Structures are given as structure tokens and as C-alpha cells.
């Protein structure tokens, strides 16, 4: 293998998939690490206001350490990153996102060819990405290329505290402009204390991917402010109904499941995490002191936990 080929394998390639929505179609971007011909796939899906480049360090490590050819797919969920914005903000919800993931995985299988079926499909989901993963893993009849084999839920479960919903309602879609990347990174950090320890240079690198050009040479956040519309429409009653549905899905999950919980999380309680170890897939729980909602999975020790779970026998 040439040095050039190695470099391309260990850097992200931007690709697109066309996804249907009730008013038409939209394009969703995803970042591919590794070999497009690899029949082992790990999908890494971000949280509510984030984007696929959050997983750069994890994806790089997984591809580099995998004993077999592997591709790691990191989508920018609709309305975020390089993906198109939806015309109707009412569709910025889990059912649309799950349908988009099915379209993306279907395209990956088509690229491999009918005679090269996917061998394994694993899922890493942070917060919202974990909810999408539960929806896909908890419905055996969905047209996935193959069942989800291993599922990493990063600080999320079927029950989400109402106080954390109220916190999200207060900030999602509310953003201004920043003079430069340093100012933007500092502002993002003020909102992200729960992420736990992150090296300053790593946070600056992550923050760069959170920006798009604003006006007068300034920077602004990457996502469609309208992604906050369904969040602000949530009530305790709709949240309770969603929780009941998610527990039903969780109980049907067959995938081996690793649950990561930030010990100081305001979204995933210790009680919910314990329940998740006792029902459904009986998740293995890893609680991380010094972290809240949600760990970034960027530190070497964090990456090692996920890599061991996904790449081990």
C-alpha cells in the first residue's frame, strides 16, 4: 500500500446521499474514513447541534487499529454541517433522521455491490445520534444492509430528563456571530462544560468544524437555527410519550450494547443507566467521572474504551 493511499484512507472523504422527505428531497453529507470497499462499517452519529467531524479522532483510530478493512461513516445529520437544510422544520425529528440513515446505508451497500454484502454494521451514537441508533437497532424489520451488531450509546437512553430538555430549549438555534475562531471556540466551550476534559488544541480543531462564514467576514454556527423548532415544541407530555416508545424499542435491541455515562450528566440519570443494564440488550455500563453530557470521545483513554468494544472479538 502506498503512502498516498494510506494518507487518503486515514483522512475523511466527503460524500453525499439524496434522501426523501415529505416535500421532496434533500442531500445529506457524510464523511467516510477508510476503504470504500470494506465490508465492515461503523457509523458514528453526532448530537443535536453538532456535526460529523466531531468523530475525526475516533474514526482515525478505528480505521488505523482495525485488524480488518473497515470504513467509518460520520454523517452530518440534515440541517447540520455540509448537509442541506430542510424546507419544513417540523421534519427535524428522529423519524426523518432515521430514514436518512437508512438511505445512506443503502447507498453504501449499493457501492459495494450485490455480491459483496455488508459483513458487520456497528453504531456509535452521541446523544441524538444514540436515539437514532436505538430506533434503527430496535426495529428488526427495517431494511438495514445487515443488523446492527454492536451499539455504543454515548450518554443517552430512552429516558431523558425534562430539565435537560429545558436546557436545550434555551440554547438551540440561539446564536450570533463571532469575530474569529478563538472567540467562537470560547463561546462554544461556555455551552459545553459537560463535555468534560478536552485538550485546548482539540477543542479549537473541533470548533473550526462547527463554523460557517457569516456576514462581514465573521463566523457563525453551522446549523439551521430551525432545528430548534421541534425541540421548543416539546412538552412534558410529549416527552413522556417519546420515552415510552423508546423503552419499547430498547427492549427489542439485539445488538451488544455499551452505555457510556458521564457521571455528572444532566440528561442520563444513574437510575436510567442502571435500568438499561437490566432490560433489553442489558447494556454494559461504563461511568466516567469528571464528565457530564456528553463525553467527546476524543481523548486517548476514551477512544480506547470504544475501540476495544468495537474491534475486539
Any idea which residue has 424546507 for its cell?
A: 87
Q: b/e string for 68-80 if b means 16 or more Cβ within 10 A? A: eebbbbbbbbbbb
Residue 256's CATH number = 3.40.50.1820
Number of domains in the chain: 1
- Print pLDDT tens along the chain (313 aa): 444 344 558 899 999 999 999 989 999 999 999 999 999 999 999 999 999 999 999 999 999 999 999 999 999 999 999 999 999 999 999 999 999 999 999 999 999 999 999 999 999 999 999 999 999 999 999 999 999 999 999 999 999 899 999 999 998 988 889 999 999 999 999 989 889 999 999 999 999 999 999 988 999 999 999 999 999 999 999 999 999 999 999 999 999 999 999 999 999 999 999 999 999 999 999 999 999 999 999 999 999 999 999 999 8
Query: Could you write out the DSSP letters of every residue in 44-104?
Result: EE--TT--GGGGHHHHHHHHHH-SS--EEEEE--TTSTTSPPPSSGGG-SHHHHHHHHHHH
- Domain for residue 178, yes or no? no
- Domain for residue 182, yes or no? no
**Burial of 195: CB neighbours in 10 Å, binned 0-12, 13-18, 19+:** buried
Domain holding 80, by residue range, is: 11-173+223-311
When the pLDDT of each residue in the chain is averaged and rounded to a whole number, the result is 95
Any idea which residue has 494518507 for its cell?
A: 7
> What global pTM score does this model have?
0.96
- pLDDT, tens digit (0-9, with 9 covering 90-100), for 292-308: 999 999 999 999 999 99
Amino acid at each position: 500500500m502506498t503512502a498516498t493511499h494510506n494518507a487518503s484512507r486515514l483522512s475523511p472523504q466527503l460524500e453525499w446521499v439524496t434522501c426523501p422527505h415529505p416535500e421532496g428531497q434533500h442531500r445529506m453529507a457524510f464523511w467516510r474514513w477508510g476503504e470504500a470497499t470494506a465490508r465492515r462499517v461503523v457509523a458514528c452519529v453526532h448530537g443535536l447541534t453538532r456535526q460529523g467531524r466531531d468523530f475525526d479522532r475516533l474514526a482515525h483510530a478505528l480505521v488505523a487499529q482495525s485488524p480488518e478493512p473497515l470504513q467509518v461513516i460520520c454523517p452530518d445529520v440534515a440541517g447540520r454541517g455540509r448537509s442541506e437544510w430542510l424546507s419544513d422544520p417540523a421534519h427535524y425529528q428522529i423519524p426523518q433522521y432515521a430514514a436518512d440513515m437508512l438511505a445512506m446505508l443503502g447507498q453504501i451497500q449499493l457501492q459495494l455491490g450485490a455480491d459483496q454484502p455488508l459483513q458487520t454494521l456497528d453504531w456509535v451514537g452521541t446523544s441524538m445520534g444514540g436515539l437514532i441508533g436505538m430506533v434503527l437497532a430496535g426495529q428488526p424489520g427495517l431494511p438495514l444492509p445487515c443488523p446492527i451488531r454492536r451499539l455504543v450509546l454515548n450518554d443517552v437512553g430512552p429516558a431523558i430528563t425534562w430539565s435537560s430538555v429545558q436546557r436545550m430549549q434555551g440554547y438551540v438555534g440561539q446564536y450570533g456571530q463571532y469575530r474569529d475562531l478563538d472567540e467562537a471556540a470560547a463561546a462554544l466551550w461556555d455551552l459545553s462544560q459537560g463535555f468534560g476534559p478536552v485538550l485546548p488544541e482539540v477543542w479549537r480543531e473541533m470548533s473550526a468544524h462547527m463554523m460557517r462564514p457569516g456576514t462581514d467576514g465573521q463566523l457563525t454556527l453551522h446549523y439551521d437555527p430551525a432545528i430548534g423548532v421541534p425541540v421548543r415544541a416539546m412538552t412534558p407530555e410529549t416527552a413522556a410519550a417519546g420515552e415510552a416508545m423508546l423503552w419499547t424499542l430498547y427492549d427489542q435491541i439485539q445488538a451488544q450494547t455499551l452505555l457510556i455515562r458521564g457521571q455528572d450528566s444532566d440528561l442520563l440519570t444513574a437510575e436510567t443507566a442502571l435500568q438499561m443494564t437490566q432490560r433489553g440488550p442489558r447494556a454494559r455500563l461504563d461511568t466516567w467521572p469528571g464528565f457530564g453530557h456528553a463525553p467527546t470521545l476524543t481523548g486517548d483513554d476514551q477512544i480506547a474504551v470504544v475501540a476495544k468494544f468495537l474491534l475486539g472479538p
